[in-house]
């Protein structure tokens, strides 16, 4: 049945039989299930991605229906992710859809993206994009940006290689300007399909280990006079993200994101990212994490106050700090104050785990 289902993909040089099987083992996160996310998730679903994780906190409104083609009149008032999951599942029995109804923030972002192979940006806020992109960069998860408003759209791919610009080289510290929202400027459904289509084409290439076309380049699309422009984007000299990833973590806990490696006691080195102005650090240990995560969570719950647990994570307190540890060993430490304290807490945790 699988072969039958995908029989029209097998003759394609862009997919083919072998790659169709590869896609079955890929997980893609679609952040935002509005105008772009509804289109990109349908394409990913059609292409046979093994698992699609969809995230949105919104409910369906009447004004969404002309462009958000997964939803119907009967769905008004219901959660976007729930209805999207129902529709997507009806269209492809071979793709698993996980729906998460939440707003992406600096606290939940690491848990949300851990384990996915690629992130599709279907967001409409720069503030959320910045949080998602920074987390994706610290975990080295490829990220495909797309934006669309009125009759124009743009798409760009990021694999986090140093030679290419990062998202913040382009958006800088742009804030969300209400006069540029789709409520005010409108959005043509056609531009959403073109933009999301190009975005998913890029995603496919990355998922199949091919080089995407939009690294360091932005595809601009304008349907008023049908224009496709490809522009080169250079790295920004003093980009707040990629040009200060040099290693100046000590500089502070407020205002800037920095990144570098530190020794964690006798355990080894860990990459540490400090998140913008939030007194939050993400630790990505470089030593071998070889553990039974269920045993680890059991043991942690005997020692510290546990706030919540899931199959792949545990959130608990060590004194005044809050820690979310995921099964890959990546830990997000909040309310730790200075970097030194965060490192001490991380060391204490791994000393305990090793015992
Ligand atoms: Zn940059």
* Average pLDDT, integer, range 115-138: 94
Same domain flag for 75 and 24: yes
Taking the centre of ligand 1 as the mean of its atom positions, its distance from the CA of residue 168, in whole angstroms, is 5
- Owning domain of residue 109: 2-232
Least confident of 167-176, 298-307, 344-353: 167-176
Structure tokens belonging to residue 97: 């859809």
Same domain flag for 266 and 205: no
Same domain flag for 49 and 154: yes
On whether residue 160 sits in a domain, the answer given is yes
Beta carbons within 8 Å of 43's beta carbon, 6+ residues apart? 196, 197, 200
Same domain flag for 181 and 218: yes
Taking the centre of ligand 1 as the mean of its atom positions, its distance from the CA of residue 257, in whole angstroms, is 11
Element holding 135 (H helix, E strand): helix 126-138
Model confidence over 54-83: pLDDT tens digits?
Answer: 999 999 999 999 999 999 999 999 999 999
How far is 287 from 174, CA to CA, in rounded Å?
Answer: 37
Taking the centre of ligand 1 as the mean of its atom positions, its distance from the CA of residue 333, in whole angstroms, is 24
Taking the centre of ligand 1 as the mean of its atom positions, its distance from the CA of residue 224, in whole angstroms, is 31
Mean pLDDT of all residues in the chain?
A: 90
On whether residue 72 sits in a domain, the answer given is yes
Is 135's pLDDT higher than 70? yes
Same domain flag for 26 and 152: yes
Total domains in the chain come to: 2
Model confidence over 259-288: pLDDT tens digits?
Answer: 778 899 999 999 887 765 557 788 889 888
Same domain flag for 225 and 343: no
On whether residue 126 sits in a domain, the answer given is yes
Same domain flag for 219 and 164: yes
Element holding 132 (H helix, E strand): helix 126-138
Taking the centre of ligand 1 as the mean of its atom positions, its distance from the CA of residue 79, in whole angstroms, is 35
Same domain flag for 207 and 62: yes
How far is 154 from 191, CA to CA, in rounded Å?
Answer: 10
Taking the centre of ligand 1 as the mean of its atom positions, its distance from the CA of residue 88, in whole angstroms, is 35
Least confident of 11-15, 238-242, 309-313, 338-342: 309-313
Taking the centre of ligand 1 as the mean of its atom positions, its distance from the CA of residue 212, in whole angstroms, is 19
Geometric angle at alpha carbon 107, from 105 and 113, rounded to 5°: 75
Same domain flag for 35 and 170: yes
Q: Which of 202, 232, 262 is the last residue of a domain?
A: 232
CATH of the domain at 198: 3.40.50.720
Beta strands in 135-294 (DSSP E): 143-149, 152-158, 217-222, 227-232, 258-264, 268-275, 280-285
Taking the centre of ligand 1 as the mean of its atom positions, its distance from the CA of residue 269, in whole angstroms, is 24
Cα dihedral value 343, 261, 133, 160, nearest 10: -160
Beta carbons within 8 Å of 318's beta carbon, 6+ residues apart? 304, 345, 348, 349
Residue 251: pLDDT band (50, 70, 90) is: very low
Residue 250: pLDDT band (50, 70, 90) is: very low
Least confident of 9-13, 39-43, 278-282, 330-334: 278-282
* Number of CB atoms found within 10 A of residue 184's CB: 11
On whether residue 95 sits in a domain, the answer given is yes
On whether residue 151 sits in a domain, the answer given is yes
Same domain flag for 159 and 68: yes
Same domain flag for 341 and 277: yes
Q: Which of 232, 261, 295 is the last residue of a domain?
A: 232
Q: Which of 232, 265, 293 is the last residue of a domain?
A: 232
Neighbouring residues of the ion ligand 1, judged by CB less than 5 Å: 166, 168-169, 239, 241-242
On whether residue 239 sits in a domain, the answer given is no
Taking the centre of ligand 1 as the mean of its atom positions, its distance from the CA of residue 239, in whole angstroms, is 5
Taking the centre of ligand 1 as the mean of its atom positions, its distance from the CA of residue 179, in whole angstroms, is 26
Taking the centre of ligand 1 as the mean of its atom positions, its distance from the CA of residue 165, in whole angstroms, is 5
Residues forming a β-bridge with 270: 262, 285
On whether residue 199 sits in a domain, the answer given is yes
Same domain flag for 24 and 115: yes
On whether residue 242 sits in a domain, the answer given is no
Tell me which of 280 and 226 has the higher pLDDT. Answer: 226
Taking the centre of ligand 1 as the mean of its atom positions, its distance from the CA of residue 278, in whole angstroms, is 20
């Amino acid at each position: 049945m699988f072969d039958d289902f995908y029989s029209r993909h097998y003759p394609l040089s862009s997919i083919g039989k072998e790659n169709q099987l590869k896609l079955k083992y890929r997980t893609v996160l679609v952040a935002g299930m509005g105008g772009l996310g509804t289109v990109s998730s349908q394409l990913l679903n059609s292409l046979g991605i093994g698992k699609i994780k969809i995230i949105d906190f919104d409910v369906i409104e009447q004004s969404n229906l002309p462009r958000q083609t997964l939803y119907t009149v009967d769905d008004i008032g219901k959660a976007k992710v729930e209805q999207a999951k129902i529709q997507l599942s009806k269209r492809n029995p071979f793709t698993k859809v996980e729906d998460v109804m939440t707003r992406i923030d600096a606290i939940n972002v690491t848990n949300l993206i851990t384990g996915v192979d690629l992130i599709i940006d279907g967001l409409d806020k720069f503030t959320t994009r910045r949080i998602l992109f920074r987390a994706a960069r610290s975990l080295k998860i490829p990220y495909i940006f797309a934006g669309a408003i009125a009759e124009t759209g743009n798409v760009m791919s990021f694999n986090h290689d140093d030679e290419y610009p990062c998202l913040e080289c382009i958006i800088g510290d742009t804030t969300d300007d209400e006069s540029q929202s789709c409520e005010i400027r409108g959005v043509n459904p056609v531009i959403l399909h073109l933009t999301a289509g190009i975005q998913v084409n890029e995603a496919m290439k990355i998922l199949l280990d091919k080089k995407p076309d939009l690294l360091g380049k932005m595809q601009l699309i304008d349907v008023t006079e049908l224009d496709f422009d490809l522009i080169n984007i250079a790295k920004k000299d003093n980009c707040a993200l990629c040009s200060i990833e040099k290693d100046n973590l000590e500089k502070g806990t407020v205002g800037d994101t920095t990144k570098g490696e530190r020794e964690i006691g006798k355990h080894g080195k860990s990459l540490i990212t400090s998140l913008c102005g939030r007194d939050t650090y993400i630790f990505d240990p470089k030593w071998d994490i070889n553990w039974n995560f269920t045993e680890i969570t059991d043991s942690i719950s005997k020692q510290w106050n546990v706030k919540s647990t899931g199959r792949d994570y545990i959130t608990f307190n060590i004194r005044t700090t809050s820690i979310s540890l995921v099964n890959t060993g990546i830990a997000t430490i909040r309310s730790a104050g200075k970097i030194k304290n965060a490192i001490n807490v991380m060391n204490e945790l791994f000393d305990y785990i090793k015992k």
